[in-house]
Amino acid sequence: MFRRRRPLLRAAAVGGGAYMMGKSRARGQAEQQQQEAEQNQRIGDLEQQPPPYQQAPPPAAAPAAAPAPSPMLDQLNQLAALHQQGVLTDDEFTAAKAKLFGT
């Protein structure tokens, strides 16, 4: 009689251990699926949100109110730019400047 019980006890122990391992593995998989579902939900929520408010750079400080440039100053600046670019020679620049100042 004892011989017959041992194989049955062994089979019950092995079967019970296998059952517990399967149950543990199923629980672990269920937890992993739950975590993935929560993560996917958070990602979906973030994708639906508008982008965060981006602060615009502060406006550049307005330059101090300079007096309105005179037409003579504008012409002198144009002559100087042409002279620096090599369009006007030294003599031409001097003559144009003298004509601008009326001398």
In a 13 Å sphere around the CA of 62, the CA atoms on its Cβ side amount to 3
pLDDT at residue 14, as a whole number: 75
pLDDT at residue 1, as a whole number: 47
pLDDT at residue 61, as a whole number: 64
pLDDT at residue 20, as a whole number: 84
Q: What is the mean pLDDT of each run of 10 residues along the chain (103 residues)?
A: 60 77 88 91 80 65 64 86 89 88 77
What's the pTM?
Answer: 0.36
Contacts of 79 (CB under 8 A, 6+ apart): 88, 93, 96, 97, 100
CA–CA distance, 32 with 40 (Å, rounded to integer): 12
The dihedral formed by the CA atoms of 63, 68, 74 and 77, expressed in degrees to the nearest 10:
-40
User: What are the residue boundaries of the structural domains of the chain, listed by start?
Assistant: 1-48, 71-101
